[in-house]
Amino acid sequence: MKLLRFSSFWVALLITMGSINASEIDILQQKVILNGTNTYKCVGTTSKKQKGNSIQAMNFVVMDSIANSLTYMNDKQSPLIWDAAHNYMVTIKRGSHEVSEADYNSTNSKNNLFIRTSTDLGDNWAPSKLVYDKDFWKFGEARFPSIALTFENNKPFFYMTFALIVELQSAWKGWGNGVYGDLGGADGAAWMSSEKFTSNKKNYNWGQFYYATGGAPAYSMSDSRLFGWQNDGKINIFATGMVTPNPVGDLTDNGNFAFRKIVDLDDATSKYVIPPAWKSTNFGKVDTVVSRPNEMINLKKDASGKVYFGVFGNFTGPKTDSLRNECGISTSTDNGDTWTDFEIFPFQVIRDFAATLNLDPKQVSLGFDSKDLVVFDNGDYSYVAVLTEVGKSFPETKRFLLELYKENGTFGVRKITADIPQTTVPFTDASDAQAGNAKDYEVQASRSADGKYLLAKWVQLDGMEFPDSTHFTFTGSDIFCSLRDRGANQWTKPSNITNSDGTKSGIFKGVWIPDVLPNDKKKITIFNCQTVGDFSIANQRKYLSRQYVMVGHFDADAFSDVNDETILENKLSLYPNPSNDKSTISFNLNESAILNLTITDITGSIVFAQNGISGQSGINAIYIDTKKLENGVYFVNLNSAKIKLTQKLNIIK
């Protein structure tokens, strides 16, 4: 099986599945189009609602402007940070002016980077600070920046990573990495460029190789996450990204992840490493230079300093589901020097949950649609991702936004909403040609500073109509949010925070909320881009036009009603069954319970036992090794004071 994401930034997202076990013909062998402009197109907007100035829908105000919305249009960036302990917010952005404009200069260049800071959750912003001047540093023109923030003696330090290009040559030049802050005197920046590195006597380029329009070779460099920290008085920067062998030719090596770690600004010491767990050999092979077997989800750090690197892709190995692309976590407890193998979220748990949604468990997939990761300080974590029903034609395909979680060592799934539309906001380029949305549904997952609640945010189309099976119209798009308290098993009903009165429509794009949110659920800051000038739907879809950076706020404490969800009856299932070496025990509980597990043979003798299993309300999973069991029939039993579940297990070797 292989997973394809075309690296030409605005083309359709396509997944194709290769051969699988012939004994199980899976629907995902078919080509599946997700957000695919190749199969269906937007042919206009409807007039169901009165079109209005969407800036007024949530009291958004103009904070700044940028040359185009691409500054905020990659879901692998981190352009907005809020430090709860210091009530300090920062965003990083490109400038607002094209080179051809008469008043173009270093203070507004779209090729330079600027930071804006706020100490009141975005009500007021300090003047822009120029933190990367391409004419001074001469590394290249800045694109797709990410930022991180730490404090030393109450002084802020800003860490940055960003793609570098030469636009006139259509050439990607690698990455710039830097820090801005008090570096021993006045404010200033120290930088270093990381274009290539050598591993095992092989040269690599940051990014993924592909052929650009016209057949010219190029590299896509837009994926990166980072964080920074202080250690023994030294500033450190750690960033992740994909690397590709150079010269290109070894397609089996086209799916590595690597990190770049800058450990000493004084002598520009840099470290570029492909951890063993991140090597391309741990992912499915690809057979074209425009494809990749994986993508980065996020890079997060908990209070103890443990780092979590989330990846979505075609993992290989004994813990993976050979029929599906999956989510995995690799962790580090030594500031990124060494990394664990990926812990794969078991797809069987997702299949079991799909059955409760009245979906065929073998006809669902996690697509490339936006996904995010939240980590907690006790080792728990959650993904927010879109589950797609496969095998039905557009527009009948169903999509669900789900939380895939690990809590107290147990995996499970919760539904956030069943209302995700069939496609995302379609943008247009300078020539009005339809283009894809690199952020897809613009899904983000954030948590409160104290870790007591989670918030999911996404953007979806409104008023969709289908003139035929390959075309659609829409009224506009809105920003939705849902919330779950850590002690609750259900998410609140999705709240439309931009257009709840149903009288106005607009287009929201480049929407961001911070990774960390206020504990009281109030005054959550939200960014979005609005095209300068005409606020009609058509104009707002032009992502290459001058954009306002808009800032607004909303309160999540009003999200109170839980989403309607059928309470699961207590149920036990096994997969695979028959089994020869391992089996997954999936069980649904309508309330939390401490369970005892036994496996008995047909005589009633216990061949395996495990007590004190913590079962959460909802879907749970346990994994057992059946290699030592002889051929025959066994019974798997889960018991508590109130629960007695039994299922027959066949062992055939």
DSSP string, 392-440: S-TTT--EEEEEEEEETTEEEEEEEES---SS-PPEE-TT--EE--TTT
378-399: burial string, b at 16+ Cβ within 10 Å, e else:
eebbbbbbbbbbbbeebbebbb
Residue 53: pLDDT over 50: no
Direct distance between the N- and C-terminal alpha carbons of the chain, in angstroms, rounded to an integer: 25
The pTM for the full model equals 0.84
The pLDDT, as a whole number, for residue 184 is 55
The pLDDT, as a whole number, for residue 521 is 95
CB 297 within 8 Å of CB 312: yes
- The average pLDDT across 516-529 equals 95
Q: Provide the pLDDT confidence category of residue 289 given band limits of 50, 70 and 90.
A: low
The pLDDT, as a whole number, for residue 297 is 94
The pLDDT, as a whole number, for residue 564 is 54
Specify which of 145-154, 175-184, 504-513 reaches the highest per-range mean pLDDT: 145-154
Of 126-135, 330-339, 498-507, the poorest mean pLDDT is in 498-507
- The average pLDDT across 456-480 equals 86
Q: Which residue has the tokens 């830097």?
A: 178
* Cβ count within 10 A of residue 183: 15
Name the average pLDDT for the chain: 82
- The average pLDDT across 470-496 equals 89
CA nearest to 149, candidates 616, 514, 498 = 514
Domain ranges of the chain: 1-74+348-566, 76-301, 571-651
Alpha-carbon dihedral sign for residues 263, 264, 265, 269: negative
Which pLDDT tens digit goes with each residue over 408-417?
888 999 999 9
Alpha-carbon dihedral sign for residues 535, 538, 544, 550: positive
Locate 624 and state its tokens.
């057992």
- The average pLDDT across 543-566 equals 82
Q: Provide the pLDDT confidence category of residue 44 given band limits of 50, 70 and 90.
A: confident
CA nearest to 256, candidates 289, 221, 219, 293 = 293
Specify which of 124-133, 538-547, 584-593 reaches the highest per-range mean pLDDT: 124-133
Residue 152: pLDDT over 50: yes
Residue 6: pLDDT over 90: no
Contacts of 240 (CB under 8 A, 6+ apart): 224, 225, 226, 257, 258, 259, 296, 299, 309
The pLDDT, as a whole number, for residue 631 is 92
The pLDDT, as a whole number, for residue 37 is 36
DSSP for 357-386, written as a single string: TT--GGGEEE-SS--EEEE-TTS-EEEEEE
The pLDDT, as a whole number, for residue 515 is 95
d(CA 406, CA 590): 18
The pLDDT, as a whole number, for residue 413 is 94
The pLDDT, as a whole number, for residue 266 is 66
Q: Provide the pLDDT confidence category of residue 317 given band limits of 50, 70 and 90.
A: confident
The DSSP symbol for 492 reads B
The pLDDT, as a whole number, for residue 106 is 96
The pLDDT, as a whole number, for residue 249 is 65
Residue 578: pLDDT over 90: no
- Amino acid type, 573: S
d(CA 502, CA 483): 22
Residue 349: pLDDT over 70: yes
Of residues 393 and 274, the one with the higher pLDDT is: 274
Q: For a pLDDT cut of 90, what percent of the chain falls above it?
A: 38
Specify which of 9-13, 230-234, 235-239, 327-331 reaches the highest per-range mean pLDDT: 327-331
Of residues 506 and 377, the one with the higher pLDDT is: 377
Residue 22: pLDDT over 60: no
Residue 511: pLDDT over 90: yes
**CATH superfamily of domain region 571-651:** Macroglobulin (MG2) domain (2.60.40.1930)
